[in-house]
């Protein structure tokens, strides 16, 4: 059977403006295009994992506005089970994103309905208990995130936490204690530890969690585990057009590979291939690759491997 993944996290409508260069404070610039795209770190990771081949269920909330209906429908269409996505009175979460011509982005998130997920009910806990792996981020109220991690831990379900957006305060000890794998990007790793060097940050984080993957953008990622030398995994060399949700694509695919029982090095190579595919296309969830596409990146090409052809 496919791996079973539960995502406890946010659903946001991404309001994306495409510009040559992002405006400075007080400045107005004319954009080239505007799109509304279903997103949110939780929903993005859910779609990424579903496309990568897992059976995925989401726990979260949308608002009573039109965005709420669209967010739910988008997840349904991606094959994500939304039975435990609540509808909370008021606006849905929104993310206001500016993407520049170099593929860089700047984002303001307004939580909206996501703020309504302050605790878990019996249905949520029962679902988490049956999962192979639970995916968590920091776009829901911390008490709910912590409760999810603890429920998973109590039932022997592996937990993977993306500490994003960058936490303003140290993470609750109870959350870290129930986290198996922490996946910060470089900024989040630095914010959590006060160390800008990713190696030093990863080593510091191992005091709190047994395994850490620090994502390093085009430079790939760094994997550290207690009692082992950290290793870096390079990213495939590609031309980035939009890096929105590269991290979520990476985590979603990584979760699927781990839930299927693949060893970490193979899982990281697969996740890196998935993320590299996503940065070559515009948008958050629309840019996420399907399982066959990810496999194709890593399959030896006819006439030898990429390395053999390059040499």
Interacting span for ligand ATP (CB under 6 A) from 49-57, 194-202, 269-277, 293-301: 269-277
Q: Is 215 in the site for ligand ATP (CB under 6 A)?
A: yes
Judge whether 264 and 255 are in contact, CB under 8 Å: no
If binding is defined by CB under 6 A, does position 161 make contact with ligand ATP? Answer: no
Catalytic annotation, pick one of 124, 132, 180, 248: 248
One of 82, 94, 185, 287 touching ligand ATP (CB under 6 A): 185
Least distance from ligand ATP to the Cβ atom of residue 191, Å: 12
In the range 271-300, which residues lie near ligand ATP by CB under 6 A? Answer: 272, 275-276, 279
215 is in an annotated binding site: yes
- 248 as an active site residue: the answer is yes
Q: Does the footprint of ligand ATP cover residue 238 (CB under 6 A)? A: yes
User: Does residue 248 interact with ligand ATP by CB under 6 A?
Assistant: yes
12 is in an annotated binding site: yes
Distance in Å, CB of 289 to ligand ATP, minimum? 12
Q: What residue is closest to ligand ATP based on CB?
A: 247
224 binds ligand ATP (CB under 6 A): no
Is residue 218 a contact point for ligand ATP (CB under 6 A)?
yes
Beta strands 33-39 and 12-18, pairing class = antiparallel
CB 226, CB 210: distance < 8 Å: yes
- Residue 35 or 86: the one with the smaller Cβ distance to ligand ATP is 35
CB 107, min distance to ligand ATP, A: 8
Residues noted as catalytic: 248
Q: Which residues are annotated as a binding site for K(+)?
A: 242, 244, 278, 281, 283, 287
- Applying CB under 6 A, the residues found at the interface with ligand ATP are 185, 215-218, 220-221, 235-236, 238, 240, 243-248, 250, 272, 275-276, 279
């Amino acid at each position: 059977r496919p791996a079973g993944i539960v995502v406890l996290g946010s659903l946001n409508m991404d309001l994306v403006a495409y510009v040559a260069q992002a405006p400075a404070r007080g400045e107005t610039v004319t954009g080239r295009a505007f799109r509304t795209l279903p997103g949110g770190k939780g929903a993005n990771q859910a779609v990424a994992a579903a496309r990568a081949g897992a059976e995925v269920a989401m726990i979260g909330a949308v608002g009573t506005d039109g965005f709420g209906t669209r967010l739910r429908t988008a997840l349904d269409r991606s094959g994500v089970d939304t039975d435990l996505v609540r509808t909370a009175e008021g606006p849905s979460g929104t993310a206001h994103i500016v993407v520049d011509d170099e593929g860089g982005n700047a984002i303001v998130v307004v939580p909206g309905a996501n703020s309504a997920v302050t605790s878990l009910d019996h249905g949520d806990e029962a679902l988490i208990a049956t999962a192979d792996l639970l995916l968590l981020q920091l776009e829901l109220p911390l008490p709910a995130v912590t409760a999810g991690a603890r429920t998973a831990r109590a039932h022997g379900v592996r937990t993977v936490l993306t500490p994003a957006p960058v936490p303003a305060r140290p993470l609750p000890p109870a959350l870290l204690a129930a986290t198996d794998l922490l996946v910060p990007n470089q900024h989040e790793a630095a914010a959590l530890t006060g160390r800008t060097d990713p190696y030093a940050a990863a080593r510091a984080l191992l005091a709190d969690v047994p395994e850490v993957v620090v994502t390093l953008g085009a430079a790939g990622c760094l994997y550290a585990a207690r009692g082992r030398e950290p290793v870096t995994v390079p990213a495939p060399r590609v031309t980035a057009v939009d890096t929105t949700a590269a991290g979520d694509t990476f985590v979603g695919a990584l979760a699927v590979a781990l839930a299927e029982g693949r060893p970490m090095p193979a899982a990281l190579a697969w996740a890196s291939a998935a993320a590299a595919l996503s940065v070559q296309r515009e948008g958050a969830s629309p840019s996420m690759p399907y399982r066959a596409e990810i496999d194709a990146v890593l399959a030896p090409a006819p006439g030898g491997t990429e390395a053999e052809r390059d040499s």
